């Protein structure tokens, strides 16, 4: 029996590591194995910013990958948390009672939804802002070079 509250928290807290996918779909889920690598690529963008500064071109591409992965996992947490008990049990607990307690929403589920919404929106907008700011600053620098 898969618990909706646990899956919601795993998607929010451990989503970029694929923990919710392992919990819901098992060890054979390909996306569960790919997510940690995508997260590591994004984390490498953080390292490049610390090592080379904000002007590092590769970090402009790598850093938002982490943000988009975290935002997508937060969205997953929201979707899991907002699923009705019937839909949850039908999809993840087939053969069980559709009103089973494993698919019910409680205050812990709502807390995960609220935190996932706040964190996911912040990370997503921050990723966009960082990417666009760096891109437009690069364009201005290149325009100045052409003007000289």
pLDDT at 32: 95
Tokens, residue 95: 């053969």
pLDDT at 130: 84
Rounded Cα distance, 52 and 62, in Å: 13
pLDDT digits (tens, 9 = 90+) for 93-131: 888 877 877 888 899 999 999 999 999 999 999 988 888
Every domain of the chain and the residues it spans: 4-147
Report the range of poorest mean pLDDT among 2-11, 51-60, 102-111, 119-128: 51-60
Burial of residue 6, with CB atoms counted within 10 A of its CB: 0-12 exposed, 13-18 middle, 19 or more buried: middle
């Amino acid at each position: 029996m898969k618990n909706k509250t646990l899956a919601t928290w795993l998607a929010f807290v451990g989503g970029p590591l694929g923990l919710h996918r392992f919990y819901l779909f098992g060890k054979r889920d390909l996306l569960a194995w790919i997510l940690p690598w995508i997260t590591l690529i994004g984390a490498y963008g953080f390292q490049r910013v610390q090592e080379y500064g904000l002007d590092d071109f590769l970090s402009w591409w790598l850093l938002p990958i982490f943000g988009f992965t975290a935002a997508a996992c937060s969205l997953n947490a929201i979707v899991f948390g907002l699923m009705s008990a019937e839909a949850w049990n039908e999809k993840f607990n087939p053969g069980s009672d559709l009103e089973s307690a494993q698919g019910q929403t409680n205050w812990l589920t709502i807390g995960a939804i609220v935190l996932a919404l706040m964190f996911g929106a912040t990370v997503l907008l921050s990723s966009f802002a960082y990417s666009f700011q760096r891109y437009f600053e690069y364009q201005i620098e290149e325009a100045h070079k052409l003007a000289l």
